Structure 1
Amino acid sequence: MTKSGRVYVSVVAAGVVVLIAALWFGGGVSEPKIAGLPTAGPLTDWGLPLVRFCYNLCAVACVGTLLAAVLFAPAASPESAACVRAAGWWALAWAATAVLSYLLTLSNIIPLPVTNLLGSSDMLSFGMSFPQTQALLVVLVAAVVVAVLTHLPRLPKVIPLAIAAFAILPPAYVGHAASVADHDIAVSALMTHLLSASVWIGGLAAVLVHFRRSDHLQVALPRFSTIALCCFAAVAVSGLAGAWVRLNTPSDLWQTRYGLLVLAKVVALAFLALFGWIHRRRIVAGIAERGVRRTFTRLAAGEMAMMAAAMGLAVALSRTPPPTGGDGNGSHFILEYQLARYSLGALITQIRLDPLILLLLALPAVGYMMGVRRLPSWPVGRTLAWYAGLALTALALLGGIGSYARAMLSIHVLQHSVLAVIAPILLCFGAPLTLAAQATTAASQYGEFGSRLRGRRITRPALLLIAGTLPVILLYGTPYLSWSASGYATHLLTVSLVFGAGLLVFWVLVGVDPLPRSIPWAARAWLLAAVAAVHLVLGAFLLLGPAAAVDWFSLVAPLGVDDSLADQRQAGILLMLVPLAPLAALAAQLVSLRQEAPTRVRTDQVAQRLVSSRRLDTPSG
């Protein structure tokens, strides 16, 4: 075995040893047996966490190598192609471990030994009835798709990367986070934890395996270092949120075995922070030197061993029973989180800090500030508009509006109005694309942004019309509303689509940032009119029409809301009035641009004549 092979085996062995020790300490495989009832057997008890560890390794490696191909390596470099090929093999291994996880998870749920399951096709198909095994089947399909897509050289690499990142999430939604109090925060924390840890660990593994002898290491390592710092913060915050919803009191950290394993993960994270500090202070700047490269390789190998140990702790922690009392008592029996009695004061003061949303809002906030620091002359008004848009987005998702949106139609409409109209308008007036183009050059860490501006297809007028009208029609004119509000994931998906559609539409309507195609004034005017009209019509429908999603909102209405139909009438008024002011301001801006256009054309014509006359008067040399 080569030296590199021994290092890789040692890294995996470190994770397996820690996993076994943590399982024994936490009691993850020694649950008391009830006499007379069947058991899954030791093969499932020990095999499931071990297979789960291998499953996580393959998932992390697949995501990390695809990320390296997209961000770390030049497009046509041998390292990029090697990363894509490796990602395909890791995706196949991920699919294989998903199949094994399906068998062992089903054996654990029923419970029945694996050998008995394999002898009965009916029992194997029975796994379609359980959310945990259904999620693994989704992962299996996604991993196979990723493996196939890596063999299509003309396909943008970001597509298999996005699918691989998505495939990490389904088990989080139905795993051990699904049964605790504050279900939404627990699931959000786990999804954030898994995504950020996969990017961090997989990215470092890809740099170590594919770039350590490459001339592109001095480009790849600084890029990874920046991403790793963001991932460290996300892992720390999401881990804190996940522990908070599972532990009843701070003393559970040292009085329970679950808490002690959490403290062990904290220690591992502290060591990883130390590794990262050494990388940024002593290695990144001098990576072109041969001696520094050798130091990086040894340090990265040690860091990978610590990461593998942390992954082993994470798998063991998922099998360890949390302290009693953190099982959701006091939560809303349908919403699965605590909802205070509704009042204007509660709407203003209620806060639910969702880790995933916090991360997604922190990234553009920090990125914009970095761009502003590079451009001292950047207009203050644009900066204020950007951060006002982010603040309103945070208020709609993390404040009282976000808490009551799934329980009250009027607050749901208020959240929609902010995310679909008001916040996107403010963010587009912040001109983030212009800032990114001016603040980056070809020598920047991630290259020149302005040279990569795309989007001709998504700015077609017909597609813009669909994006501006279809989301609100689906929400308030069809039964989709009940389904979207019934779960955390479906609601998060819905608000993401609404917010994304709003950003696309108002990117064109505001017109501050450059566009990949020319949009005529008439097309903008018709688009704005359509957006305003659909809000007015559906607002009137809610105000005067039949009850909407009454089966859902009557079940989840909080204390203080006695009449769901009256709440719907308020929702109709809000849907007509709240978007009206920003849309009217945009209409006034469009009219002003129309009136200024002839004057601008005449000015350009006069200037052109002056230039032409000067050329004629100039004697030829």
Structure 2
Amino acid sequence: MTSKYRDSKLLYVLFAVVAGVVGAVISWVFLGESLAALGIPDPGPLTTAGLPFLRSAGLMVAALAVGSFMSAAFFIKPQTNDLRTTSLSADGSVAAKTGAISSLVFAVIAQLMVPMYLSDVSGSPLLNTINPAEWPRALELVSTSLAWQVTAAFAFVTGIGALTTYRWIMQPVWLVGALLSVIPLGMEGHSATGGDHDYGTNSYLWHLVFMMLWVGGLMALIAHGRRKGPDLDVSVRRYSHVALVSVVVMAVSGLINTSIRMHWTDLLTTGYGLLILSKTIGVIVLGLFGFVHRQLTIPQLGTKPGAFSRIAIVEVLFMGAITGVAISLGRTPPPPPRNVDLNTMDIELGYKLYQEPTIWNVWTMWRFDILFGAAAIIFAAAYLWAVYRVHKNGEKWPLVNTFWFLLGCLVLLLTVCSGIGLNMPATFSMHMVGHMILSMGVPIGWVLGGPVTLFLKALKPSPDFPGPREWLEVAVDNPWLRVLMNPALNTIQFVVFFYILYITPLYEIMIDEHAGHVIMNVVFLWSGSLYYWDLIGIDKTPVKHSPMSKLGWLTFSMPFHLFFGVYLMMNSIILGEEFYSNLGLPWNVDLLHDQMVGGGISWGSGQFPLLIVWAYLIWEWFVDDRRTTAVQEANVQEVKDDLDLYNAQLGAFQKGKNPHDDYYGATFDR
């Protein structure tokens, strides 16, 4: 007899409540110590217990949204294999709806956290700060409240959007939206303050994102199994890869985050350290759960699917408890910093600078960038793996393509980890050096490496159940990208961003927070890659444009780049003056002169790669024109030959002779 469909709503609530209760109880234990450290009065139980409860429960709800969208996009088979047009299956639609509702619930929780954090830092009762009239004050004075407000906006837009369509192609978009909803929370807290906060924030971002994938993915799998969804074995197998990577990333990032904030002896001598230790042990236990899954339950999915769900439910409950422990860390006074010699540079940048950067000494300063440096290594490793797979399949891949892509990764690694990356947040001129390299140097190497073409060769098609190759195909050929790759829009996004960033107050806002530097670097890389992919990339674009069209748009954009550099050199208003003046650099900086230098760098280094690309397009136009001419001449010659033959036949008929007589006569003679 077939077992009936089982709903998972009560399980979702149980997971969130367990996380919330653990977070609230542990935070309550350290309440007195926390209030004494902060020097504020007790805001009342609604805040002191409610804040950690809702934050812990909220993260579980956010993880459910992430896992549900991930499941709908990559773990559950859609109705057809044409991912550009297909809708979700019935099971996938339920998963997507769960993700949408979870996002909206998380948005409500995030909005409530805005007045809660104002209550928390001011000691005012929540009933006072929950008045909407107080919220502007919370957003202005409390950075954590602002982070939760941004989170609420992302979660709300994602939830509403996901309810409007159940087409497959939108599920990866909602997955990105759900992940973006938690990113602001990774930019605040203990990791984002004090010395080494660049390491702390970047490692916590890795930790938080992969926690969402790990925890949320397992919750979605449990629901998929309880709904008796098809292909559970495929879903579990795909999730197991995500879980393995998540465990490794969370372990490494957690180790980095702990090592920069405390001495190892603090693990056993402070309450904060004991919580860290408890969380670490919990992650190890969860790793054992995963081992049990691989060894016992996954091989028996076909005969005993219920065993997987039972162990997975216990696992998620344990995950919820660990989430509560992790959230209580934010409510527990950390031990004294390892380095008490902190100055303004430590607070604003996360590290100290000791000498003025020059063209030579930037190569003697090194500090590994956990976010972008790690990304450069991962991209290079993935590319080399794909090259290996292509050669293993008996095909060839041009060595020059490999050279270009690895060069782009190397340039990224050197830029963010050398003195260039160290000084990018400290002076405008070095910021502009980094900007030009990230938006014009790294992308050129990447697009000339043809990574999409390479991976399409390396990945095998999955005709029965769409897999990585099919996902990549639709990622680089879809209606959204077709719009973005329109020459006019692509040129505008690349050129106009310069003006929006530096002419509006946006630059002052960005440089004041580590999150701003991260966002700018991501946009530089993304904008440049999109722009140069269309101009000179060897990967096929969604819409093919002629070299003449590309050359025209590039020529159109060049004066705007030129004018932008001149504008910066002539601008008498110092960008980011307050931020740069307060850094306390150990050398004298003439901010106006430094800005003029930055404008010159923008003018010179911006025009140089564009001129190279312009020359490349001229050559491509010349080659394309010769190719077209050759084809036309061949066509003309073919028409001429046909016409000569026709005229010869016509002449033979006019002489009263069948032109085929020679042929038939020769045949009869034989």
Please give the TM-score of this superposition, normalised by the length of structure 1.
0.87
What is the letter of the counterpart of residue 590 of structure 1?
L
Q: Structure 1 residue 39 and structure 2 residue 42: aligned?
A: yes
Q: Structure 1 residue 445 and structure 2 residue 467: aligned?
A: yes
C-alpha spacing 1:371/1:611, structure 2 compared with 1 (3 Å): farther
Residue of structure 2 aligned with 1:575, choices 599, 602, 609: 602
* Distance across 1 between alignment mates of 2:242 and 2:612: 39
C-alpha spacing 1:567/1:245, structure 2 compared with 1 (3 Å): same
Could you say what secondary structure the match of 2:164 adopts?
coil
Say which is worse superposed, 409-418 or 156-165, in terms of deviation.
Answer: 156-165
Residue of structure 2 aligned with 1:207, choices 200, 221, 230: 221
What is the letter of the counterpart of residue 144 of structure 2?
Q
Q: How does 1:40-59 map to 2 (within 5 A)?
A: 40-59=43-62
C-alpha spacing 1:555/1:434, structure 2 compared with 1 (3 Å): same
C-alpha spacing 1:416/1:121, structure 2 compared with 1 (3 Å): closer
What is the letter of the counterpart of residue 241 of structure 1?
I
Q: What is the CA-CA distance between 1:217 and the residue it aligns to? A: 1.7
Q: What is the CA-CA distance between 1:478 and the residue it aligns to? A: 5.4
Q: Structure 1 residue 263 and structure 2 residue 303: aligned?
A: no
Residue of structure 1 aligned with 2:617, choices 590, 605, 621: 590
Contact 1:217–1:287 (CA under 8 A) maintained in structure 2: no
Residue of structure 1 aligned with 2:75, choices 49, 55, 72: 72
Kindly provide the CA deviation profile for residues 147-203 of structure 1, in whole angstroms up to 9, marking residues without a partner as x.
322321267233433332222133333433343323333233333322221121101
What is the letter of the counterpart of residue 181 of structure 1?
G
- Specify the alignment match of 1:340 in structure 2: 353
Q: Structure 1 residue 486 and structure 2 residue 508: aligned?
A: no
- Specify the alignment match of 1:109 in structure 2: 121
- Specify the alignment match of 2:626 in structure 1: 599
Could you say what secondary structure the match of 2:468 adopts?
coil
Residue of structure 1 aligned with 2:387, choices 372, 380, 384: 372
Q: What is the CA-CA distance between 1:529 and the residue it aligns to? A: 3.0
- Specify the alignment match of 2:650 in structure 1: none
Q: Structure 1 residue 500 and structure 2 residue 515: aligned?
A: no
Could you say what secondary structure the match of 2:406 adopts?
helix
> Structure 2, unaligned stretches of length 5 or more?
1-5, 79-87, 647-662, 664-670
Q: What is the CA-CA distance between 1:50 and the residue it aligns to? A: 1.9
Could you say what secondary structure the match of 1:197 adopts?
helix
Q: What is the CA-CA distance between 1:605 and the residue it aligns to? A: 4.8
Q: What is the CA-CA distance between 1:581 and the residue it aligns to? A: 4.5
- Specify the alignment match of 1:149 in structure 2: 161
Q: Structure 1 residue 305 and structure 2 residue 317: aligned?
A: yes
Contact 2:93–2:166 (CA under 8 A) maintained in structure 1: no
Could you say what secondary structure the match of 1:151 adopts?
helix
Q: What is the CA-CA distance between 1:547 and the residue it aligns to? A: 5.5
* Distance across 1 between alignment mates of 2:93 and 2:510: 40
What is the letter of the counterpart of residue 427 of structure 2?
M
Q: Structure 1 residue 456 and structure 2 residue 482: aligned?
A: yes
- Specify the alignment match of 2:83 in structure 1: none
- Specify the alignment match of 2:577 in structure 1: 551
What is the letter of the counterpart of residue 535 of structure 2?
L
- Specify the alignment match of 1:241 in structure 2: 256
* Distance across 2 between alignment mates of 1:583 and 1:116: 57
* Distance across 2 between alignment mates of 1:478 and 1:328: 37
What is the letter of the counterpart of residue 57 of structure 1?
M
CA RMSD of aligned residues (A): 3.5
What is the letter of the counterpart of residue 468 of structure 2?
Y
* Distance across 1 between alignment mates of 2:511 and 2:404: 30
* Distance across 1 between alignment mates of 2:75 and 2:40: 54
C-alpha spacing 1:327/1:218, structure 2 compared with 1 (3 Å): same
Q: How does 1:82-481 map to 2 (within 5 A)?
A: 82-114=94-126, 127-129=138-140, 130-153=142-165, 156-211=170-225, 213-247=228-262, 249-279=263-293, 286=299, 289-291=302-304, 293-325=305-337, 329-333=341-345, 335-341=348-354, 342-344=356-358, 347-358=362-373, 360-376=375-391, 377-443=396-462, 445-448=467-470, 449-450=472-473, 453-454=477-478, 455-476=481-502, 480-481=506-507
Kindly provide the CA deviation profile for residues 188-231 of structure 1, in whole angstroms up to 9, marking residues without a partner as x.
33333222211211011101212453222233223222322332
* Distance across 1 between alignment mates of 2:436 and 2:144: 35
Q: What is the CA-CA distance between 1:113 and the residue it aligns to? A: 3.5
Say which is worse superposed, 545-554 or 249-258, in terms of deviation.
Answer: 545-554
The number of residues matched between the two structures is: 611
C-alpha spacing 1:24/1:122, structure 2 compared with 1 (3 Å): closer
* Distance across 2 between alignment mates of 1:264 and 1:152: 42
Q: What is the CA-CA distance between 1:280 and the residue it aligns to? A: 5.1
C-alpha spacing 1:71/1:359, structure 2 compared with 1 (3 Å): farther
* Distance across 2 between alignment mates of 1:37 and 1:506: 54
What is the letter of the counterpart of residue 431 of structure 2?
H
> Structure 1, unaligned stretches of length 5 or more?
none
C-alpha spacing 1:309/1:39, structure 2 compared with 1 (3 Å): closer
Contact 1:82–1:210 (CA under 8 A) maintained in structure 2: no
Q: What is the CA-CA distance between 1:270 and the residue it aligns to? A: 2.2
Q: What is the CA-CA distance between 1:350 and the residue it aligns to? A: 3.1
Q: What is the CA-CA distance between 1:110 and the residue it aligns to? A: 2.4
Q: What is the CA-CA distance between 1:329 and the residue it aligns to? A: 4.6
* Distance across 1 between alignment mates of 2:458 and 2:174: 29
Say which is worse superposed, 509-518 or 37-46, in terms of deviation.
Answer: 37-46
Say which is worse superposed, 394-403 or 505-514, in terms of deviation.
Answer: 394-403
Kindly provide the CA deviation profile for residues 109-156 of structure 1, in whole angstroms up to 9, marking residues without a partner as x.
2213445666x7766775444333333333334333333223212672
- Specify the alignment match of 1:537 in structure 2: 563
Say which is worse superposed, 79-88 or 471-480, in terms of deviation.
Answer: 471-480
Could you say what secondary structure the match of 2:371 adopts?
helix
Contact 1:211–1:217 (CA under 8 A) maintained in structure 2: yes
C-alpha spacing 1:351/1:107, structure 2 compared with 1 (3 Å): same
What is the letter of the counterpart of residue 446 of structure 1?
P
* Distance across 1 between alignment mates of 2:484 and 2:143: 35
Could you say what secondary structure the match of 1:578 adopts?
helix
Contact 1:473–1:534 (CA under 8 A) maintained in structure 2: no
Kindly provide the CA deviation profile for residues 460-517 of structure 1, in whole angstroms up to 9, marking residues without a partner as x.
1211221232223344555544333232222222222222111111001114110111
Contact 1:550–1:564 (CA under 8 A) maintained in structure 2: no
Please give the TM-score of this superposition, normalised by the length of structure 2.
0.81
Kindly provide the CA deviation profile for residues 309-350 of structure 1, in whole angstroms up to 9, marking residues without a partner as x.
221210121111101236975243562422312244652243
C-alpha spacing 1:78/1:405, structure 2 compared with 1 (3 Å): same
Q: What is the CA-CA distance between 1:57 and the residue it aligns to? A: 1.4
* Distance across 2 between alignment mates of 1:301 and 1:256: 32
- Specify the alignment match of 2:82 in structure 1: none
C-alpha spacing 1:445/1:277, structure 2 compared with 1 (3 Å): farther
* Distance across 1 between alignment mates of 2:43 and 2:58: 20
C-alpha spacing 1:349/1:275, structure 2 compared with 1 (3 Å): farther
* Distance across 1 between alignment mates of 2:437 and 2:35: 52
